[in-house]
Chains A and B, each alone.
Chain A
């Protein structure tokens, strides 16, 4: 009985480690998607008016046989990689005094005046014949992209307005053949504006490469929501255009239960339903959670999911990851990540390599600050 169970487990494991081979075309598409993922990541980091943020993540393959690459010559053994960091800080100038606003449902401390700051976001993704931590090997069959997005931010939390201006550089790190396509290496301008719940960004050089407008109506505990109100169940909506296929896409994140259960879905104006996700987080800071996704492409359904255990996330055909790094499907991977953010005076865990930024207020400290009324 035990033997049968073990052999069944071994078969299941070997099946879940033998992934579908990657293709260079899929890697190229994920490289072209990199600028938009960078811009989205910056929006998620800055959307709540934090003072400072620091994040990094590293993609790790659980089994070396997981993700081979199919080339015109054959099947190459190798390693996909995806590494990212994001850091930045905001500092108040002029009027430095803090203002405490305590409403029926809200309690937060914010500076009276203007703030200015900077951020730097970096990501590289691709595939190479050897795996690495810092210095990429010069594999003859490798394919990869790296992108930097950096800029300056100015905001006034009291009025809820923010502006940003920056630049994005996208570079192909190797792969000189490029399959006959144009060289995607370029510099692009980045602009951002926000007012209250509405935010938007645009990426443009000689032409507009992409834009996004989002409306974040949900009231999170991170922002100091003191009592559950109806706005905790308000959705987060996004409309975006990626210059890749010039297709308008809509994203909808709907809180289902108490900052813990969420439904997310992405629709494209051309193709209809792209993917849907059901998430359950054991705490609102999203350190521990499980998610299940359903991705539809070219009439084929791909079911996957992820389990996040603190700093490590295990995934299998997880739709946001399949979208980010094309071909990461039908095999188990791990993502090691760390994120922390500072909102006015307190530090929060801010994991979230996927999903929107969220966090949890230390309830005891919050209660002490506001006279124990909780």
Chain B
């Protein structure tokens, strides 16, 4: 066997088997973890589009808790929303949906939900 032939096969395999070129170092999987940095209880982090809704993290998080890491399979910019209420209110069922604005997902992200005097917001970690 000639050397150029082997090189060509090695090149083809290395390109073909990875299945992704740029993605190997730019983005990979799309994993998400949510941390509750507020004094409220939060639940049901969702991506909400103009015509579709996907539940990203279904865990209910008490203050200070972190969710399990989820492979959400979304890479892009999405409008996020979650349910929040103070701990007593949450049990009573008066939690309200909070719009978190457009956030960028992709790769491994940890979001920390916090509330300050400007209102609720997501901190990307």
Please list the residues of chain A having a beta carbon within 8 angstroms of any beta carbon in chain B: 64, 68-69, 71-79, 129-137, 140-141
Q: CA–CA, A137 to B18, complex, Å?
A: 9
> Are A75 and B19 closer than 8 Å at their CB atoms?
no
Q: CA–CA, A274 to B67, complex, Å?
A: 54
Tell me whether B16 is interfacial, beta carbon within 8 Å.
yes
Q: Which residues of A contact B53 (CB under 8 A)?
A: 73
> Are B20 and A131 closer than 8 Å at their CB atoms?
yes
Q: Which residues of B contact A129 (CB under 8 A)?
A: 75
B23, B26, B27, B73 — which one has the most chain A CB atoms within 10 A of its CB?
Answer: B23
Q: Which residues of B contact A133 (CB under 8 A)?
A: 15-16, 21
> Are A131 and B12 closer than 8 Å at their CB atoms?
no
Tell me whether B93 is interfacial, beta carbon within 8 Å.
no
> Are B49 and A74 closer than 8 Å at their CB atoms?
yes
- Mask for B1-38, Cβ within 8 A of A = 1, else 0? 00000000000100111011111001100000000000
> Are B21 and A78 closer than 8 Å at their CB atoms?
no
Shortest CB distance B18–A (Å): 8
Tell me whether B77 is interfacial, beta carbon within 8 Å.
yes
Q: CA–CA, A72 to B74, complex, Å?
A: 13
> Are A75 and B76 closer than 8 Å at their CB atoms?
yes
A-B pairs with beta carbons under 8 Å apart, 21 shown: A73-B49, A73-B54, A73-B74, A74-B47, A74-B76, A74-B77, A74-B102, A75-B77, A75-B78, A77-B76, A77-B77, A77-B106, A78-B76, A79-B22, A129-B75, A131-B23, A132-B19, A132-B21, A134-B12, A134-B15, A141-B74
Please list the residues of chain B having a beta carbon within 8 angstroms of any beta carbon in chain A: 12, 15-17, 19-23, 26-27, 47, 49-54, 73-79, 102, 106
Q: CA–CA, A135 to B77, complex, Å?
A: 26
Closest 4 A/B residue pairs (Cβ): A72-B51, A74-B78, A73-B49, A134-B16
Q: A64-B22, A134-B15, A134-B16 are in contact. Are A76 and B49 (CB under 8 A)?
A: no
> Are A73 and B52 closer than 8 Å at their CB atoms?
yes
> Are B106 and A73 closer than 8 Å at their CB atoms?
no
Q: Which of B12, B19, B75 contacts A78 (CB 8 A)?
A: B75
> Are B54 and A130 closer than 8 Å at their CB atoms?
no
> Are B21 and A131 closer than 8 Å at their CB atoms?
yes
Shortest CB distance B88–A (Å): 34
Shortest CB distance B53–A (Å): 8
Q: Which residues of A contact B76 (CB under 8 A)?
A: 68-69, 74-78
Q: Which of B19, B20, B27 contacts A77 (CB 8 A)?
A: B27
Q: CA–CA, A69 to B49, complex, Å?
A: 13
Q: Which residues of B contact A72 (CB under 8 A)?
A: 49-52
Q: Which of B20, B50, B102 contacts A130 (CB 8 A)?
A: B20
Shortest CB distance A293–B (Å): 28
Q: CA–CA, A71 to B77, complex, Å?
A: 11
Q: Which residues of B contact A131 (CB under 8 A)?
A: 20-23
Q: Which residues of B contact A79 (CB under 8 A)?
A: 22
